[in-house]
Chains A and B, each alone.
Chain A
Amino acid sequence: MKFSKKTIAAVSMATLLMFSMVGCGGGSQDQSNKSAKSADGSVTLNFWVHETDSPEGQLYKQRIEEFNKAHEGKIKVDLTQIARTGDASGYDDKVNAAITTNSLPDVFTVDGPNVAAQADAGVIQPIDQFVDKEDLKDFNKDIINQGTYKGKLYGLAAMDSSVVIYYNKDMFAKAGITAPTKIADAWTWDELYENAKKLTKDDVYGIDMNLKWGGEWNTFAFLPLVQSLDGQIVADDGKTVDGLINSDKSVQALTYIKKLVDNKVVNPTPIDNSFENGKAAMAMTGTWEPGNLAKYPDLKWGIMPYPVAKKGGKAVSPCGAWGYYMTKACTTEKQEAAVELIKFLTNTDACVAIYKANGMPPARATAFNKIDEFKKEPLNVITEQLQNTATVRPLTPNYPVISDQFSKAITNTINGMDPKQALDEAVKQISVQVK
């Protein structure tokens, strides 16, 4: 049969059209939650995680297999791993799209500061009725706080995070400086400044504070400076910031950072790994650092606690991590199973396993007891901080814009703006975006 040129053209156009439609469509079919209980009475849960190929990601694959085996015939978990591409935009975009198209999974991971917004929007559901109240006491208080909104608990985490000051033992010995090892002996802001000054010479800075990172790091690491003066950046109503984010206390905190920068004891644009390479005597950074330090076995390092404003003053330290939460898509007959999954992902074994995978401190006291490293120097400082002084970041649906503006105020201060002016700017911008 001989096809005319026109027929061939028309058929190929139709095929092209068909393929382009298929290409644009796709994606949400595999996420459907329509089948609650399958014929044999077992429940299928869709679980989204933000880790793919990292050790933590591999751990999830393993743990979900264990869970499925242990609950065979009753609960089956479908794990979907979505990569966070730079600032979590890949994972966040997928979640936002799922909210708009009503194709959320049953359980997914959420970063601590984002819980309030999700809870306020009804994207996640409370799990109070399914958890063991006694068991909750084992968790770090800040983990319970980060997962709670308006009195209801929405989820739990297996790991936590903190910020401490790592110090170079050799440089300290040479300068005759002794580092505190307990929060009760923690340095004051003035002591930190004086000692950093002593250690700054030639091309070595007293301390590296990752001032180049900006973004959430600024709020995560430096908000406790404000909180230790009993200040806050937003009122309990979740939106009033005038008089708070730009209060004297905040100005004091930012002025302190500015003092460190202006006196050149900290580099505003630090070289990567300056502490590891001996270009900084101290590093104020997160609890992920020991993994990095392991690659430099010649460096003798110790840990000292987060500084306090003045001797005997309120001790505050950063905290917060990604946790596991149940969504509004989880129908009533699946909710108990979903919380079973959350409990499995946050039991003591899970906490220890996650520490082994990514080096982050656990969220539970029993896990702290099981991991030797956290019971002795230098990591015991982290234990003390997380169990005593960890203070959660503000629990408000408006967290993204408030944190972003606070962070920008810090960056502007480092770049020379007057702290009060920078914070007033923050108030102005927040009022534009928040009702």
Chain B
Amino acid sequence: MSLQIIFTIAPLKERWIIIKIMKKNRIKANAVSISFVLPAIILLFTFMIIPFALSFYYSFMDYNILKPNAMSFVGLDNFKKVFTDTIFIKSIYNTFRFTILVVPLQLGAALGLALLVNKKLKGIKLFRLAFFAPTVLSLVVISILWTIIYNPNNGLLNSILNSIGIASQPFLSDPTQAMYCIVFLSAWQGAGFQMMIFLAGLQDIPTYLYEAAEVDGASKVQQFFNITLPGLKNISVLLFLTITIGAVQLLVQPMMMTQGGPLNSTVTIVYEIYQTGYKYRNMGYGSAMTVVFTAIILVIVLIQNKLMVSKED
């Protein structure tokens, strides 16, 4: 019997015992729930909150990582430098260019693939596996692989283009082409993961909606726009957000394939932060870049949230 019920029928004298028991139960329940959440909170603190707080602290310092004891306070100097650093500003431009290109491409490809594999054909699982496989490989491996494919002399891609009469392209050696090459391979690598999520979403849409639409005489295209897309709305919003946050943190591909070149066309924000903090050992200045970067991501997320969620009822 619930303690609440006992409480109401108990004589007043005995009620204080029941209150004591209820308090104990609440503490016990809190203890259990806290111990479930505690590991995650500790990890969150250790690997996210504390490092970010340290970053924020370092951003006001002149800190050479070889001389941790010689840290000195420089106020807003690092931030003043950040806003006049042409390479850092270029990296922001490059990162945005990458993000704006890769998000629709990857989402579109994921949705397209999900629609294709959402059929009950024999062997469809093999295709799902094949499309998903690139997401499992390490980005370093993928970058090296695609550097070979994009090789201007005898790479696979140029061989294919030559065989259909198109001249060999410079790809990664060309300032205009390099970023597009990275966009393409990144979408190729990531689409499989979002495809799986879209697939789950597609299978969640009740089939009777489609049957009803058929009966009403709706074409496949009309069904897609009026049933499929709205049904995938929540998933799309989530995936859009996660792909964007992942895209602005682009690091591995430019680091492995082009080292930021040619002519700084593939320097990204995180790559510049890494160079500044670890290669040039300027941890203070790098931390200031990190703080600015975090502010940028925050603004993006807030804008996206506003735009996407406002349409919800």
Kindly list chain B residues whose C-beta atoms are within 8 Å of the C-beta of A269: 151-153, 170, 173
Contact A415 B39 (CB under 8 A): no
Contact A13 B36 (CB under 8 A): yes
Contact A433 B285 (CB under 8 A): yes
Q: How far is the CA of A24 from the CA of B39 in the complex (A)?
A: 12
Of B32, B260, B282, B285, which contacts A10 at CB under 8 A?
Answer: B32
Q: How far is the CA of A6 from the CA of B29 in the complex (A)?
A: 9
Of A417, A429, A435, which contacts B87 at CB under 8 A?
Answer: A429
Contact A417 B263 (CB under 8 A): yes
Q: How far is the CA of A13 from the CA of B278 in the complex (A)?
A: 37
Contact A215 B259 (CB under 8 A): yes
Contact A117 B151 (CB under 8 A): no
Kindly list chain A residues whose C-beta atoms are within 8 Å of the C-beta of B28: 6
Contact B279 A404 (CB under 8 A): yes
Cβ of A291 under 8 Å from chain B: no
Contact A20 B173 (CB under 8 A): no
Cβ of A408 under 8 Å from chain B: yes
Q: How large is the interface on B (under 10, 10 to 19, 20 to 34, 35 or more residues)?
A: 35 or more
Kindly list chain B residues whose C-beta atoms are within 8 Å of the C-beta of A100: 65, 68
Cβ of A177 under 8 Å from chain B: no
Cβ of B154 under 8 Å from chain A: yes
Cβ of B162 under 8 Å from chain A: no
Kindly list chain B residues whose C-beta atoms are within 8 Å of the C-beta of A20: 39, 42-43
Kindly list chain A residues whose C-beta atoms are within 8 Å of the C-beta of B38: 13, 17
- What does the 1/0 interface line of A253-294 toward B look like (CB < 8 Å)? 000000000000001111100000000000000000000000
Q: How far is the CA of A215 from the CA of B275 in the complex (A)?
A: 12
Of A401, A411, A432, which contacts B81 at CB under 8 A?
Answer: A432
Contact B279 A9 (CB under 8 A): no
- What does the 1/0 interface line of A387-425 toward B look like (CB < 8 Å)? 000000000010011001000100110011100000000
Kindly list chain B residues whose C-beta atoms are within 8 Å of the C-beta of A404: 275, 279-280
Cβ of B135 under 8 Å from chain A: no
Of A13, A21, A401, A408, which contacts B280 at CB under 8 A?
Answer: A401
Within 8 A of A (CB), among B116-174: 140, 151-154, 170, 173
Q: Which single residue of chain B is at the shortest CB-CB distance from A101?
A: B68
Contact B46 A412 (CB under 8 A): no
Chain A min CB distance to B215 (Å): 50
Q: Which single residue of chain B is at the shortest CB-CB distance from A279?
A: B153
Cβ of A122 under 8 Å from chain B: yes
Interface positions of B (Cβ within 8 A of A): 28, 31-32, 35-36, 38-39, 42-43, 46, 62, 64-68, 70, 81, 85-87, 140, 151-154, 170, 173, 175, 256, 259-263, 275-276, 278-282, 285
Q: 6 extra interchain contacts, Cβ-Cβ under 8 A, other than A17-B42, A118-B66, A404-B280? A: A17-B38, A20-B43, A121-B67, A269-B152, A271-B151, A400-B281
24 example contacts (A-B, Cβ-Cβ < 8 A) are as follows A6-B28, A6-B32, A9-B36, A17-B38, A17-B42, A24-B43, A86-B140, A89-B278, A117-B66, A121-B67, A215-B259, A267-B153, A269-B151, A269-B170, A270-B153, A271-B154, A400-B279, A400-B280, A404-B280, A411-B261, A432-B87, A433-B276, A433-B280, A435-B62
Task: Report, nearest first, the 9 A-B pairs whose CB atoms are least far apart.
Answer: A121-B66, A415-B262, A401-B280, A121-B67, A17-B39, A13-B35, A433-B280, A271-B153, A269-B152
